[in-house]
Amino acid sequence: MSSTHNITPVYGNPLLGQWSAPYEAPPFDSIEPAHFMPAINQALAEARANVEAIANLDAEPTFANTIEAIEDCNRSLERIGAVLFALDDCHTNEELQQVVVEAGPLMTRFENEVAANRCLFDRVKTLYNRLADGTLALGEEQATLLTERYKFFVRNGANLEGAALEEYMKTSEELVELTLRFGQNALADNTSFALHVTDEAQLEGLPVVVAQQAADEAAMRGEQGWVFTLAAPSYRPFMAYAACRPLREQMWRAYNTIGNRGNANDNNELIKRIVNLRLRMANLLGYSTWCDYVLDDRMVQSLPNLRTFMQQLHDAALPIAWADVEQLRSFVAEVDSGLELEPWDVAYYSEWLARELYDFDAEQLRPYFELGNVQRGVFELYGKLYGISFEPAPDVPVYHPDVKVFKVCDGNRFMGLLYLDMHPRPTKRSGAWMTTFRDQRNFNGIEQRPLVQVVCNFTRPTAETPSLLSFEEVKTFMHEMGHAMHGLLSDVAYSSLSCTSVKRDFVEMPSQLMENWCYEPRFLRLFARHYQTGKLMPMKWVDRLREHYNFQSGLLCLRQLNFGQIDIAFHSITQPYSGVVEETENGAIERLWPSVEGTAMSTNFNHIFSGGYASGYYGYKWAEVLDADVFSRFKADGIFNRRTAARMRTLVLSKGGTRHPALLFRDFMGRDPDQKAFLRRSNLL
């Protein structure tokens, strides 16, 4: 639109102007923290000018001069913000964290200003009313964009006035700052702990690769012996294999007190403030709780519906979970008579029990899951399913030497860039995730392909071995690559509806779907070869994997449900919260063994207090029901069936958020979801 202002380059600031890196990728090789605030301030000024130009147009509102113009008004701000927040997550420092704390509220303030712009909202509302009464004819994607834009205004305070509007804007800005601080506190507490071992006898039970990784960590820190951290590749195998019970307890307590240590990083007061601000925002918008506000725009639709869904799964899982507990306790009584099972014992004895039951140790699989081989296997799978290829793009700048970039193509068509950042470091938050530096769009005849980032925290190479993944890490890689394909195969007109911009309780379906392939021999044969001998992983172990899939399935299901219940407990409050975080957490969940005073997972629950999953953590189980159902179609048709994959790509993955996910599911399956496939797969029938 002619009224749209474009960013003009500022000498010496690589964030401004057209990015000169290949594929217009972020110029990470020249970006410094000091570049961000000048760039953000300029981008904000120009976005505000664009908004005013649209709001004050003399012409009658049309889809093009209002809705499409709004879609385009802050593209520069979005791309700069995407880079800033991604860097803060995966390669941060104190200077960058200060920038994030300063920039986050400013960007939220701009969003609030847009929502509060009465002239702009009136133009959108006029078009929305015309769509509703049938006097404005639009295609499905355009109608969705208009509807979502109208909902954005209403759900962000457009109908508020005076003191209520002012309070809403102030509250939302403060929320951004507090959620950022929550994540920074959790990261600081996580990285501040290290278990330093100097007695080799205390390594009893640990796999060689885990001990070698700890030795490398110690050497990197200038220490003798072995150092274990709370990063997943160190913490998880330590808890599952370390025979030294006092050290397991020390590690468990350290992990379960992140954000709850009474120090400068303590998150208890932040949680209280965050949930109360969310409650107040919901009340201002006419909702009784934050859950009601969030779920009103989700597949599940309402809190009563969600409670029914959670209760159904709880009722199915609880008896199986108790049977799992009794089986574990009986086993402990046999192998360690008199030992009272504590939380720091569960992973250790569960792993031991699994070895006894299945004559199988998951650590035996590591040599067959060398990261490079796994990556090639995953790439080949997507070639078989969707006909796409991946080739290294070493000329694209990266923000850390660990990062590898790949050019993704469908024949001769460029589909986007894929950034892989696979290993933990002190500057990186824990977990695994996918995001985009730039979303896909195909607007006004110009196609913009996405720049997709996948971030994990996988086992590092050691001085003795390459990066050898656990089977769980292989599944995590498949999961995040499922998100990546959702982004890379997107093919819509508007970026705000592209890639993974779908209902939050649907977004995990395409990613969880891909985990199913990890149990399929035909897929594993593509890449599961011993990193030294080149021999295929014995297929009898695939059978063991399948048998092991439902080991403690009740416990695992209940664990996920407990996380969802904690989320609901904090976000279904109807009065300001003044309780004790530990007590609220303990009261929300189904406990299968006693709680440990002074520990809590809520103070490290980044998904709901720092990420985008507040009132939405249930979405993992909701999407698991969907993915089990969808994979039943792939199993029936063949796991490499190109026709079935083409339907998934065309009817689901390419559509982004242009169509309601319930309709996307129905388009692919020909019916509504059925829980039976999930219950059968999880042995919960």
625 and 613, same structural domain? no
Domain CATH code at residue 562: 1.10.1370.10
Model pLDDT, residue 611 = 86
Model pLDDT, residue 361 = 86
Edge-to-edge order in the sheet of strand 433-438:
388-392, 404-410, 413-421, 451-455, 433-438
Q: 497 in a domain, yes or no?
A: yes
Q: 171 in a domain, yes or no?
A: no
Burial of 581 (0-12, 13-18, 19+ CB in 10 A): buried
User: Locate tokens 């979801």: which residue?
Assistant: 673
248 and 203, same structural domain? yes
669 and 602, same structural domain? no
Choose the final residue of a domain: 107, 136, 159: 159
The pTM score is 0.92
Tell whether the model's pLDDT for residue 11 goes beyond 60. no
Tell whether the model's pLDDT for residue 5 goes beyond 60. no
In 3-state terms, the chain is what percent helix, strand and coil (to 5)? 60, 5, 35
Q: Is the dihedral of CA 526, 527, 530, 532 positive or negative?
A: positive
Model pLDDT, residue 9 = 45
pLDDT one-digit tens code per residue, 368-388: 999 999 999 999 999 999 999
The answer to whether residue 480 is catalytic is yes
Domain CATH code at residue 425: 1.10.1370.40
Q: State the maximum Cα–Cα separation within the chain, in Å, rounded to a whole number.
A: 83
Q: Kindly state the average pLDDT of the residues 23-40.
A: 96
Q: 186 in a domain, yes or no?
A: no
How many whole angstroms separate alpha carbon 447 and alpha carbon 439?
Answer: 11
Q: Kindly state the average pLDDT of the residues 308-329.
A: 95
426 and 379, same structural domain? yes
218 and 153, same structural domain? no
Do residues 501 and 656 lie in contact, with contact meaning Cβ atoms separated by under 8 Å?
Answer: yes
pLDDT one-digit tens code per residue, 425-461: 999 988 999 999 999 999 888 899 999 999 999 999 9
641 and 590, same structural domain? no
SS3 461: coil
Do residues 149 and 124 lie in contact, with contact meaning Cβ atoms separated by under 8 Å?
Answer: yes
Give me the percent of the chain exceeding a pLDDT of 70.
Answer: 98
315 and 423, same structural domain? no
Do residues 498 and 441 lie in contact, with contact meaning Cβ atoms separated by under 8 Å?
Answer: yes
What is the residue range of 288's domain?
268-359+553-617
Tell whether the model's pLDDT for residue 4 goes beyond 70. no
Q: 572 in a domain, yes or no?
A: yes
Q: 185 in a domain, yes or no?
A: no
Do residues 643 and 659 lie in contact, with contact meaning Cβ atoms separated by under 8 Å?
Answer: no
Q: Kindly state the average pLDDT of the residues 313-328.
A: 95
pLDDT one-digit tens code per residue, 150-160: 999 999 999 99
Q: Kindly state the average pLDDT of the residues 116-127.
A: 96
Q: Kindly state the average pLDDT of the residues 493-507.
A: 95
Half-sphere exposure (Cβ direction) of 471: Cα atoms closer than 13 Å: 20
Where does residue 325 fall: left (phi above 0), alpha (psi -120 to 50 degrees), or beta otherwise? alpha
628 and 577, same structural domain? no
Model pLDDT, residue 444 = 84
How many whole angstroms separate alpha carbon 84 and alpha carbon 103?
Answer: 9
582 and 660, same structural domain? no
Tell whether the model's pLDDT for residue 3 goes beyond 60. no
Burial of 92 (0-12, 13-18, 19+ CB in 10 A): buried
26 and 145, same structural domain? yes
385 and 339, same structural domain? no
pLDDT one-digit tens code per residue, 190-243: 999 999 999 999 999 999 989 999 999 999 999 999 999 999 999 999 999 999
Tell whether the model's pLDDT for residue 681 goes beyond 50. yes
Q: 538 in a domain, yes or no?
A: yes
Strands 413-421 and 451-455 come out as parallel
Given the residues 351, 480, 520, 624, the one annotated as active site = 480
Q: 347 in a domain, yes or no?
A: yes
659 and 542, same structural domain? yes
Q: 178 in a domain, yes or no?
A: no
Name every residue whose Cβ is closer than 8 Å to that of residue 281 and which is 6 or more positions away in sequence: 168, 171, 172, 175, 290, 293
Give the chain's mean pLDDT. Answer: 94
Choose the final residue of a domain: 595, 617, 639: 617
pLDDT one-digit tens code per residue, 558-594: 999 999 999 999 999 999 999 999 999 999 999 998 8
How many whole angstroms separate alpha carbon 175 and alpha carbon 177?
Answer: 5
Choose the final residue of a domain: 159, 181, 211: 159
Tell whether the model's pLDDT for residue 7 goes beyond 80. no
Say how many domains are in the chain: 4
Do residues 194 and 444 lie in contact, with contact meaning Cβ atoms separated by under 8 Å?
Answer: no
